[in-house]
Structure 1
């Protein structure tokens, strides 16, 4: 999931440099959503690992 967030971020940067504002904004929004989903899943995984140990 983090890989896809980085891919969309790169697409947003390239589209922004080339002047495609709509595509750049959409790609940046998707990258942001995917990054926050990655963080949520990371926290859930860490908590589940700690609960399983204890």
Structure 2
């Protein structure tokens, strides 16, 4: 998922360089959404890994 976010970021930068502002804005928005989803999932799985190691006795 992070690879897709980086891919859309590169597409956005290249489109912006050539003057395609609509495509650039759309792909930047997609990259932001994918990166946000990645960070949220990372934090959820990190919390699951931290709390899975603890046992209540």
TM-score category, normalised to shorter length: over 0.9
- Per the normalisation by structure 1, the TM-score is 0.98
Q: Which has the higher helix share?
A: 1
Q: How does 1:39-54 map to 2 (within 5 A)?
A: 39-54=39-54
Structure 2 gap ranges (5+): none
**TM-score w.r.t. structure 2 length?**
0.93
Task: Give the unaligned 5+ runs of structure 1.
Answer: none
Alignment pair present for 1:11 and 2:7? no
Aligned residues: 54
Query: If you compute each CA radius of gyration, which structure gives the higher value, 1 or 2?
Result: 2
